[in-house]
Amino acid sequence: MIAIVKYNAGNVFSVTCALQRLGVDAVVTDDPDTLRAADKVIFPGVGEAAAAMGYLRDKGLDKVIAGLKQPVLGICIGMQLLCRHSEEGDVDGMGIFDTVVKRFDNSSCPQCKVPHMGWNTVEAVSDCRLVDDGVNGRHVYYVHSYYAEPCCHTEAVTHYIVPFSAVLHRDNFYATQFHPEKSGDVGELILRKFLEL
């Protein structure tokens, strides 16, 4: 069973649809026991970091997610909340990934618009289960104003103003800053890779 964490995130339905296109029916739930019992858990996210984190803490879901043992995939804000800290709303995350989330500063590149919106290339910087040869160098879809600084858990980067973490991985936790559920064929390849872990 694949579970999608139910919370105040904007893309839960899109992720559900993407999985359905791959022939996978997912359960959308905020029940701790169901999340713990799932084969894999997807932790999506669109919105504002501090509000999302506050909601998760109120429901006790932050501890549930951080304690999961099966493969977990964080997407966008989901990824950012798995980091140590986010500048957006100055909020502490779950600290799975040893990095911080900062706002894009385009003062060095005034023609670079913020939010970083659209299709950009993803490059593996180490062995990356999600970004293999079929995906490396291809375009994925981004919509974000904040990014995770590269760290020891960064397996792929994208360059926009600065290089930032496109894919993070530590133990059973995987995360993408881009939206695989909106990234066409390439996104489907990446979701498949996660489902096959």
Partner 1 sequence: MLAKRIIPCLDVKDGATVKGVNFVNFRNAGDPVELGQRYSDEGADELVYLDITASLEGRDTFVDLVRRVARNVSIPFTVGGGISSVEHVDTLLNAGADKISINSSALRRPELISEIASRFGRQVCVVAIDARCVDGEWICYVKGGHEPTSRRLVEWALEAQDRGAGEILFTSMDHDGVKQGFACEALNQLHDALSIPVIASGGCGAMEHFKDAFEIGHADAALAASVFHFNEIPIDELKRYLHNCNIPVRL
Active-site residues, by number, are: 76, 179, 181
- The terminus-to-terminus CA distance of the chain in angstroms comes to 13
**Range 134-193, binding partner 1 (CB under 8 A):** 139, 141, 143-145, 159-160, 179, 181-185, 187-188
**Total residues at the site for partner 1 (CB under 8 A)?**
38
Residue whose CB is less far from partner 1, 52 or 61:
52
**In the bound complex, what is the minimum distance in angstroms from residue 97's beta carbon to partner 1?**
22
Label each residue of 131-180 as H, E or C.
Answer: CCCCCCCCEEEEEECEEECCCCCEEEEEEECEEEEEEEEECCEEEECCCH
**Residue 114 contacts partner 1 per CB under 8 A:** yes
- Neighbouring-strand partners of residue 73: 42, 174
Contact 169, 131 (CB under 8 A): no
Residue whose CB is less far from partner 1, 46 or 156:
46
**Residue 8 contacts partner 1 per CB under 8 A:** no
**Residue 55 contacts partner 1 per CB under 8 A:** no
